[in-house]
Amino acid sequence: MADRGADDRGVVQAIATRLWNSRWPLAASLVAVLAVYALAGISAYVLLLLALAMLLAAALLPSGATRQSGENGAALEAIGLQRLSGEYLAAAVADPLIIFDRTATIVHANVAAFAAFGGIAPGMSLSLKFRAPEMQALLDSVLSGDVASDVADYTEKLPVERAYRVSASSVGHGTDLYVLVFKDQSEARRIDRMRADFIANASHELRTPLASIAGFIETLRGPARNDPAARDQFLQIMQSQTGRMARLIDDLLSLSRLEMKPYLKPGTKVDLRQTVDSVIDSLGPLARESSVVIERDFAEGPLDVPGDRDELFQVFENLLENACKYGQSGARVVVSIARSGADSEPGIDVTIRDFGPGIPEEHIPRITERFYRVDVETSRTQKGTGLGLSIVKHILTRHNARLSIKSEVGKGAAFSVHLPTH
């Protein structure tokens, strides 16, 4: 019963729709009948029968207006689909895209393809443009018809090296058109190389002291078993090597924690004067051991910046420790704090300058990379892990700050931290 009631409601709704769509023709016909009635003097019963006949015809016969409306909608839809040509669709793709025909001739290339490869134009042969064997094999595979789509890895050497994952496929059925889409994989490859280098370097840094400790243990259990002097010397070296591994693990953990929250904005204020004073006091024994005098040159007034005190302490501790260790031949280190920047972007600069041997210019761009050392032997002698400046860079990134390095061989080096005050 419910289904029958629903069907009845559907029929009534369809009839009402037809009457509404035919309202103007019905109105015109009714006016015409009324005019005939008034002029010809026909019977009212005849007038009623004519009106009922018109309503019945409008309800049962197909509506010309409705049919016309449907035809117009279909026509508009067809026009819209025709406008979605290959050029429009290719332009909407952000990756380089090239449409070509069965002879491997370029039919169309989007803006991204022109920007990435240049010198391409309709009518050019893909086989001549992309001569790499992997691209030739990809084109042959798709054009032969053996597969509908295929992928390959391709590296563009000039003007800069870029790695792409290229997919080729046919367009529709019977069009004799094909498409190449180039997905840039350069950043992913770079990150993979960085990860592999990091693992290799970390493994090497840990393996070296472990091999040393293993060798001394073997010696102590053998030839040096009954030699007190050798035993004491070897135990001292083993203690030094375990300390080196502990420092390396601590730095690795610190770097990992920082990378897990690179965009976390610190929400507290830090007094730079007090923080830098604390760093200088904590490194006083190291400065005296290295025969280095630490001098202060602080600006007057409040020196507050937004940030995390413990992290900024770690930044200045790393920089000052490096200055004392590697610049000890200069006998002094100057720590200065000064205001900088315009009124719209005020900031505070903390500069730690030593007067040691300096850093060769070619090393400065890479000095904040993980495990990068200007002098490997000197760094290990000074108990460095090769991660200190990398930690500094990550902390400053979190604080929307930056590190600048100026150095001249024989005249020392200056490391400046630029911190915003807002």
Please enumerate in sequence order all residues whose Cβ is within 8 A of that of 407, keeping only pairs 6 or more positions apart, or say none: 358, 359, 361, 364, 413, 414
Class of domain 188-260: mainly alpha
pLDDT score of 82: 46
Q: In Å, how far are 63, 209, 254, 310, 318 from 251, measured between CA atoms?
A: 81, 16, 5, 15, 11
> What ranges do the domains of the chain cover?
2-83, 86-184, 188-260, 269-420
Residue 224: what pLDDT?
78
What's the sign of the alpha-carbon dihedral 188, 191, 197, 201? negative
Q: What distance in Å separates the CA atoms of residue 68 and residue 133, rounded to the nearest whole number? A: 58
The fold of 269-420 is: Heat Shock Protein 90 (3.30.565)
Q: How far is Cα 245 from Cα 227, in angstroms, rounded to an integer? A: 27
CB 398 within 8 A of CB 262: yes
Q: Pick from 366, 277, 360, 267: which is nearest to 313 by CA?
A: 277
Residue 43 has what pLDDT?
Answer: 58
Place of tokens 């309503």: 55
Nearest to 202 by CA among 262, 238, 251, 243: 251
**End-to-end Cα separation, the chain, in angstroms:** 74
3-state SS of 123-166 is: CCEHHHHCCCHHHHHHHHHHHCCCCCEEEEEEEECCCCCEEEEE
Per-residue pLDDT at 83:
46
pLDDT at 155: 87
AA identity, residue 406 = K
CATH 3.30.450.20 assigned to 86-184: yes
Q: Are 356 and 341 in contact (CB under 8 A)?
A: no
C-beta atoms surrounding 73 within 10 Å: 10
* HEC profile of the chain: CHHHHHHHHHHHHHHHHHHHHCHHHHHHHHHHHHHHHHHHCCCHHHHHHHHHHHHHHHHHCCCHHHHHHHHHHHHHHHHHHHHCCHHHHHHCCCCCEEEEECCCEEEEECHHHHHHHCCCCCCCEHHHHCCCHHHHHHHHHHHCCCCCEEEEEEEECCCCCEEEEEEEEECCCCCCEEEEEEEECHHHHHHHHHHHHHHHHHHHHHHHHHHHHHHHHHHHHCCCCCCHHHHHHHHHHHHHHHHHHHHHHHHHHHHHHHHHCCCCCCCCEEEHHHHHHHHHHHCHHHHHHCCCEEEEEECCCCCEEECCHHHHHHHHHHHHHHHHHHCHHHCEEEEEEEEECCCCCCEEEEEEEECCCCCCHHHHHHCCCCCCCCCHHHHHHCCCCCCHHHHHHHHHHHCCCEEEEEECCCCCEEEEEEEECC
- Which stretches of the chain score pLDDT less than 50? 61, 63-66, 69-70, 73, 75-83
Q: How open is the CA angle 7-10-15, to the nearest 5 degrees? A: 130
pLDDT at 26: 56
pLDDT digits (tens, 9 = 90+) for 339-354: 887 666 788 999 999 9
